[in-house]
């Protein structure tokens, strides 16, 4: 659980992690032949191109007050699954590029924590950076639209499941609310898995 005092570390983590997360979606799509993100100006590490004032900044602050952990949404990187190479498998690569990047960021921060002695404030920042990036990885890999893990399920599921996923995705903000509810009610198991990953990293 995070406290209001942790916001000084949480906000920079959000800006850095989500910018790289969304940029990796864009770079992966571009490398697979889709220029949609590039044309939209999203092929960049500039965090200002990837954040939404309410869902990326205000919402996590509110949810830390209410629940003790930040819920947030970045501006989704647009991509055309019909333009990427390898069809649904290419789209799955675009989808998992973001959360896998979060896991790699957590591992990188953990290396600094394990092998380099640093001032207490930097250590605190890197601990929170590791924890949040592991959480982003786990939550984004949940195979429910619009989360990134749904792209992986799309690629390897039968047509009946694909139709169900498409129907859920078509609900727009209602599907996002479903994700919020699931994360809230299953935060205990999510945190349990996250803690095991963090223990391995640290």
Catalytic center residues = 22
C-alpha 12, offset from chain centre: 15
What 8-state DSSP symbol labels residue 78? P
Q: Are 47 and 16 in contact (CB under 8 A)?
A: yes
Distance between CA atoms of 201 and 71, rounded to whole angstroms? 23
CA 164 to chain centre: 23
Token duo for residue 49: 């191109």
The helix (H) or strand (E) run that includes residue 88 is helix 87-115
C-alpha 66/C-alpha 165 separation (Å) is 30
Compute the chain's Rg from CA coordinates: 17
Could you tell me if 104 and 94 are in contact, meaning their C-beta atoms sit under 8 angstroms apart?
A: no
| Tokens read off for 32 | 């697979």
Backbone angles phi, psi at 137, to 5 degrees: -60, -50
C-alpha 59/C-alpha 112 separation (Å) is: 30
């Amino acid at each position: 659980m995070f406290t209001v005092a942790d916001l000084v570390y949480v906000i920079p983590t959000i800006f850095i992690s989500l910018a790289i997360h969304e940029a990796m979606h864009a770079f992966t799509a571009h490398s697979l032949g889709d220029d949609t993100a590039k044309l939209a100006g999203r092929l960049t590490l500039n965090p200002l191109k990837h954040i939404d004032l309410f869902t990326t900044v205000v919402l996590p602050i509110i949810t830390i007050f209410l629940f003790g952990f930040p819920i947030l949404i970045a501006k989704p990187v647009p991509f055309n699954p019909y333009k990427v190479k390898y069809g649904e498998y290419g789209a799955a690569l675009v989808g998992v590029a973001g959360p896998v990047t979060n896991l790699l960021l957590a591992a990188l921060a953990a290396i600094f924590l394990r092998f380099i002695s640093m001032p207490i404030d930097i250590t605190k920042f890197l601990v929170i950076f590791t924890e949040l990036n592991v959480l982003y990885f786990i939550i984004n890999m949940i195979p429910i639209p619009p989360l990134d893990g749904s792209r992986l399920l799309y690629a390897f599921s039968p047509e009946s499941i694909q139709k169900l996923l498409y129907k859920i995705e078509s609900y727009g903000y209602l599907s996002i609310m479903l994700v919020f509810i699931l994360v809230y009610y299953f935060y205990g198991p999510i945190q349990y898995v996250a803690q095991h990953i963090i223990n391995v990293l640290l």
